[in-house]
Amino acid sequence: MTDPMHLDRRTGLPEEWLYLLKDHPRVDWASHRNLGPLTEFWLARHNGFRQLGQTLDTLLVDFREERVAAKQFGGLFAPRLQQFLSELHHHHMIEDEHYFPVFMDAEKRLVAGFELLEGDHELIHHRIETVIGSANTFLGRLRQGGKDGIRRAADDYAAVSDTLLTGLMRHLDDEENLIVPLILERGEHDLGLS
Ligand SMILES: [Fe+2]
Ligand SMILES: [Fe+2]
Q: What is the pLDDT along the chain (194 residues), one digit of tens a residue?
A: 589 999 999 999 999 999 999 999 999 999 999 999 999 999 999 999 999 999 999 999 999 999 999 999 999 999 999 999 999 999 999 999 999 999 999 999 999 999 999 999 999 999 999 999 999 999 999 999 999 999 999 999 999 999 999 999 999 999 999 999 999 999 999 999 87
The span from the CA of 108 to the CA of 110, in Å, is 5
pLDDT of residue 1: 57
From the CA of 68, how far away is ligand 1's center (Å)?
Answer: 32
The span from the CA of 131 to the CA of 81, in Å, is 9
The span from the CA of 165 to the CA of 144, in Å, is 27
Buried b (16+ CB within 10 A) or exposed e, 136-153: eebbebbeeeeeeebeeb
Can you give the C-alpha Rg of the chain in angstroms?
19
The domains found in the chain, sorted by start residue, are 15-191 (1.20.120)
From the CA of 57, how far away is ligand 2's center (Å)?
Answer: 20
pLDDT of residue 105: 97
From the CA of 39, how far away is ligand 1's center (Å)?
Answer: 13
User: Which residues are found with C-beta within 5 Å of the ion, ligand 1?
Assistant: 95, 175
Contact predicate 96/118, CB 8 Å: yes
Look at residue 11 and give its three-state secondary structure.
coil
Which sign does the torsion angle of CA 109, 114, 115, 116 carry? Answer: positive
Look at residue 175 and give its three-state secondary structure.
helix
